[in-house]
Copies of this chain bind each other. A is one copy, B any other.
Amino acid sequence: MKIAIVMGSKSDLSIMEECSGILRQFGIPYEMRILSAHRTPEEVAAFSKNAREEGFSIIIAGAGMAAHLAGVISAYTTLPVIGVPLDASLQGMDALFSMVQMPPGVPVATMGVGKAGAKNAALLAVEILSLADDSLQARLEQYRQDMKNNVLDADESIKKL
C-alpha cells in the first residue's frame, strides 16, 4: 500500500515535497524516486512494470516542459498514475498539455500546475486508499474539517476589520 513519488530531476524536489508532506501527515508509506522519461527510459519502464508487485498502489509523477514522465509510466502499468505538471517554462502550460491530453486507453489523473497540484496529488492518493481504509476516510474528513476551521477563523478575523 505504498505510494511512489517520482520526479524527473532533483530540482523538482521542492515542489514534490508537498506530496510527501501530506502522505507523512496521513501516515502513508511512500518512496521518492528520481527517474527521467528521457534520460533513464529503461529505468522508468522497469520501475513501472514492477511497481504493482513491488507493493506500490499509486504512482505520483511530477515533471515539467514536455512532461512525458506520467504518461510513460502509465503506459507500463495499470496502477493509477497521478500527474503533476511543473512550471519549468511557459507557466507550466507545456507540462499540463503533455500530461492531461493523454490518448484514450492510458489515463493520467492530472492535477493543477505546481505546489497546489503536488499537494492535491497526495490528497487524491489518500482518497483512493480511503476506499479500503475507513480510518483514512476519517482522517480525510478531519483534514477537511481543519481546512474549514481555518477558513472560518479567517472569516471571523476579517469580520472584525
How many A residues have CB within 8 A of the partner chain?
A: 89
Those of A107-161 within 8 Å (CB) of chain B: 107-116, 119-121, 123-124, 127-128, 130-132, 137, 140-141, 143-144, 147-148, 150-152, 154-155, 157-159, 161
Assembly stoichiometry (copies): 8
Q: Which residue among A33, A64, A104, A113 has the maximum number of chain B CB atoms within 10 Å of its CB?
A: A104
Contact check, B103 vs A116: say whether CB atoms are below 8 A apart: yes
A32-B158, A39-B151 known; A101+B130 contact, CB < 8 A? no
Shortest 6 CB-CB contacts between residues of A and residues of B: A109-B109, A107-B120, A94-B97, A38-B106, A78-B140, A107-B124
